Amino acid sequence: MGTRNILDVKTIVAVGSLVALVSLAVWSVGIGLTSIRSLQDQVNDLITQRSSLQTQVTRLQNQVASIKAQLANKQKEIETLEMLVVVYRGDIANLIEPSYLYTQSGGNHGDLMQ
């Protein structure tokens, strides 16, 4: 009987060890699956953020293009106004010069008005 008790104890220890080992393996797999799910959730969040950032970048690029177009239009308006200033200065100079020359030659302002 002593031998049988020793075998029974060894069997119980072996079965207990096997159960503990299987439990540890199942627990490890569970932890691994939880970690994988967590990492997958993080990856999905990063993909969503990247998509959002790409959308924002596209909007900003469109705004920059629009502002550049507006700037080009304003530049054209400025150039047109500068040309008008040159023309008007010439017109003003043409209007002032004869009266200036007339007054310098001894003419009368009243004569100019007639």
Q: Is the pLDDT of residue 45 over 60?
A: yes
Q: Which amino acid would we find at residue 53?
A: L
**108-to-93, 104, 105, 113 alpha-carbon distances in Å:** 20, 10, 9, 9
Instruction: Give the structural domain span for 40.
Output: 2-113
Q: Which residues contact 102 (CB under 8 A, 6 or more apart)?
A: 111, 112
Q: Is the pLDDT of residue 4 over 60?
A: yes
Least-confidence region, from 21-25, 42-46, 108-112: 108-112
Give the mean pLDDT of 63-86: 97
d(CA 109, CA 107) in angstroms, rounded, equals: 7
Give the mean pLDDT of 84-101: 85
Burial code of 16-27, b = ≥16 C-beta within 10 A, e = fewer?
A: eeeeeeeeeeee
Q: pLDDT averaged over the chain? A: 85
Q: How many distinct structural domains can be found in the chain? A: 1
State the DSSP code for 107: -
Q: What is the pLDDT of residue 1?
A: 52
